[in-house]
Structure 1
Amino acid sequence: MKSDQLVNTLECLLFVSDEPLEPRRLSDILQVKPEQVAELVEQLGRKLEGHGLHVVHLAGGYSLATRPEHAEAVQQLLQPDPQRLSRQALEVLAIVAYRQPITRPELDALRGVNSSGVVNSLIERDLLRITGRANVPGRPFLLATTNFFLSLFGLKDLSDLPEIDLPLPDARPENAPLPEAAALADAQQSEDEEKSPAESTPQKH
């Protein structure tokens, strides 16, 4: 394979990978010697000069990343919108908001399903945070909401959450809706109604 083709293939690999790719891994895929990988990375770096992406060296591997000067625009795109949060995400946020600090096993017990994927996503989006470990066997992490969660839902503090009666896990009928989720949805709706027309996002038809 020609050098320019290798560089293009390297660009594709770094683009689709969810984690930094180590030189040895790239060497195996591109079928080149390990020492050639650094040269190809350098060529790709020159190719991307003046573009929005650049090659970064992270955790012993290579990855594509947006340039710092575009961080504000990227952040606006990735900033979560309550209307775009999934039902599962809203449910997890609601339970944590009302019962924090809470462990993931406790969260799973309340929801009846594994919540690890949703929790990790909400942590990445700065809506949940880890506050420590519970003093129980296994020492699971304790979860709580963030200041960004409050601002996103128009809450001054947690006392602004609608008041509800929280049933114990064993007292809730099977498949019954969680009162926390309904209350958070009400808070979200109130926040949306308080927005001025200029602040609202037009709906596409």
Structure 2
Amino acid sequence: MDSGIKCVIEAVIFAADTPVSVERLVSILEGHDKAEVKDALENLVADYKAKAGGIFIDEVAGGYVFRTNTEYAPWIRRLFKIGQQKLSKPAMESLAIIAYKQPLTRSELESVRGVDSGGVLGTLMDKRFIKIAGRKEIPGRPVVYGTTREFLETFDLKDLSCLPSLRQLQTTEGEDASETNRQRTEETEDGTGRIDEGSQAHLAGGGDVAEEGRGADDRGEGAGQRSGGDGAGGEG
């Protein structure tokens, strides 16, 4: 294999501010076919994995991007002077509904949740996890929402087909609940009355979203877009 191809791929992925697809790499590496480029890319990914260093190449949102290993997150946060962000339970619930049922309107989201969702839609738009994906062809033509590339990058998904099935989610929730009950029983028996951080997070229902290590695109997809009637206040 021509090591020069690997170096070019490495440089391109490093320089890009969004995940780089195989097709994009092929268009850049003129004179090399797709099979050759994929082979070089796979070898490059394996090289970084074998190094087990501070960075690696990850496949997310339909392309490849450099990321920092999560064990070094505390130092990355110090560098940028940021803390770990946390989505509220209503925001996580709304994001999950949008991810599985997109595109959908605000009223459709609210019919599932049973509460006003203008506030959480605004929060998710501000964080660039969702965007206005068009309008529904019904009276009034309300806007519909869908997830963004930033959503895929943040939650480490190659594409929407990688979302866990509802059956898997239900199984995981059941296991989490059983584990939490077991821990609480043990704590009651030994008299400590303590709940570890993981249990607190589960009981709080929030979702920790680590921003470091993802190839954020400052331009965003639909960032800051809001509809006059869909950004009304509500829960956040």
Q: Same fold (TM over 0.5)?
A: no
Structure having the higher Rg: 1
TM-score range, shorter chain: 0.3 to 0.5
